[in-house]
Amino acid sequence: MDRDGPSVQLGNGIEVACGDTRFFLDPRKVTEEGICCISHAHSDHMPSSFASGPIHCSDITLRCMRGRVKSMKSKTFLETVEMGDSPLVKASGAGHILGSNMFLLDAGQKVLYTGDFCPQDRLEMEGARPQKCDALIIEATYGNPRYKFPDRSEMIKVIRDWVEDMLDQERSVVLRAYPLGKSQELITMLKDFQPRLHGSVLETTQMVEGDDIRFDYLPFDPEHVGPQLVISSGGRGDNGLSALRKKCSADVSGWCLDTNARSLGRMGWGMDQGFAYSDHADFYEIMDFVKRCDPSVVYTHHGAEDTLASEIRKRLGIEAIPLKKEKKGQTNLGRYC
């Protein structure tokens, strides 16, 4: 990159600066000191403090943040927050979860920030589309060559067939997934099996719903007699799940690739099955995305940033720099969704 290009560093989230213009990408604190962009409402990308200033995010992300913030001060802020309208920011779908966005910034040069992203269309969600840019800031959650996901439409068939088999055998099924994003995908792909939502999955789904989006489901009912399909985050103890007779359970996560069988490994204590179905790009999708964006420099963050940067340099011949936390508490990008 030439010397007049924007600077990119970790600080309040990821900070991009060019002259007097500053952008804060997934900042931990919303501020008026620059233009704040929030990619999606997973906790590791969401601010913990909303002091002042407009924010660039989707309507769904704002709705989820309103439901998720803890402090009353932040709730009050979010009720009245102005949505950003800077001509220097162009949002587009990231294909990760409902309402997730990428941002193309005009920072002297074109800078694309992906947040978490997935390029493959699936169910009712369009995948992220590459955009020509000078600098690309890209997530590295699965930024290691060992991560290659099975085709997601094939995995949807595999998950549906397994659920159908189990229910036909008069067994109840518990699918474990993140409450925001993956759970709503499962509800959509399995709607004809009448999914029942447990605990935080029910709360989160109700939070996401609005005039523009509705899902078909029932609340989990431990009194219900007979086999049923339950979607649960597994995060808050049992809460009635042990009452299910002849229960079988499965994880639905890209991390299932780390288990013995490549696409159908066992995952987690007490799980009967694992399905490697992810709402992130895998390593090969990341590489293809980088190539098609054709940047002169790539910044990697959030996961295997060193490995990914090294592979981008080696395989694509593009300068790549890992964005890494240098001091304790410098960034909130520490937990992966």
**Which residue matches tokens 């694309």?**
112
Stretch in the footprint of Zn ion (CB under 5 A) among 29-37, 74-82, 116-124, 153-161? 116-124
**E-only strand ranges, the chain:** 7-11, 13-18, 21-25, 29-30, 35-37, 49-50, 55-56, 89-93, 101-107, 109-113, 135-140, 172-176, 196-197, 218-219, 229-232, 247-252, 273-275, 297-303, 319-322
CA separation, residue 18 to residues 108, 111, 294, 333, 336 (Å): 6, 11, 21, 23, 29
C-beta of 162 vs 178, nearer to Zn ion: 178
110 touches Zn ion (CB under 5 A): no
Per CB under 5 A, does 337 bind Zn ion? yes
Binding of residue 57 to Zn ion (CB under 5 A): no
Identify which of residues 126 and 221 has a Cβ nearer to Zn ion in the complex: 126
DSSP-derived 3-state class of residue 86: coil
Smallest distance, Å, CB 333 to Zn ion?
Answer: 11
Nearest distance from residue 228's CB to Zn ion, in Å? 28
Contacting range for Zn ion; rule: CB under 5 A; set: 38-46, 139-147, 166-174, 248-256: 38-46
Q: Strands 229-232, 172-176: parallel, antiparallel or unpaired by DSSP?
A: parallel
Quick one: 40 or 247, whose CB is closer to Zn ion?
Answer: 40
Spatial contact of 295 and 112, defined as CB atoms under 8 Å apart: yes
- Check binding of 208 to Zn ion (CB under 5 A): no
116 binds Zn ion (CB under 5 A): yes
Measure the CA–CA gap between 45 and 337, rounded to whole angstroms: 9
Rounded to the nearest whole angstrom, what is the least distance from the CB of residue 272 to Zn ion in the complex? 26
Q: Which is nearer to Zn ion, 118 or 135 (CB)?
A: 118
Instruction: Tell me if 285 contacts Zn ion by CB under 5 A.
Output: no
Q: Which of 22, 28, 42, 110 binds Zn ion (CB under 5 A)?
A: 42
Q: Is 185 in the site for Zn ion (CB under 5 A)?
A: no
Q: How far is the CB of 96 from Zn ion (least distance, A)?
A: 6
CA atoms of 113 and 119, how far apart (whole Å)? 14
The CB-of-295 to Zn ion minimum distance in angstroms stands at 22
Segment lying near Zn ion (by CB under 5 A), choices 37-45, 132-140, 196-204, 308-316:
37-45
User: Of the listed pieces 110-118, 223-231, 281-289, 316-324, which binds Zn ion according to CB under 5 A?
Assistant: 110-118
Angle between helix 182-189 and helix 152-168 axes, rounded to 10 deg: 60
The nearer residue to Zn ion, 42 or 56, going by C-beta atoms, is: 42
Helix (H, G, I), strand (E, B) or coil at 302: strand
Using CB under 5 A, which of the segments 109-117, 161-169, 188-196, 237-245 binds Zn ion?
109-117
Decide: is 134 part of the binding site for Zn ion (CB under 5 A): no
Q: Cβ of residue 32: shortest distance to Zn ion, in angstroms?
A: 26
Least Cβ distance, residue 45 to Zn ion (angstroms): 6
Tell which residue, 153, 144, 85, 88, has the closest CA to residue 121: 153
Of 161, 246, 229, nearest in space to 195 by CA: 229
Closest listed residue to residue 53, CA positions, set 27, 88, 72: 27
Q: Give residues in contact with Zn ion (CB under 5 A).
A: 42, 116, 337
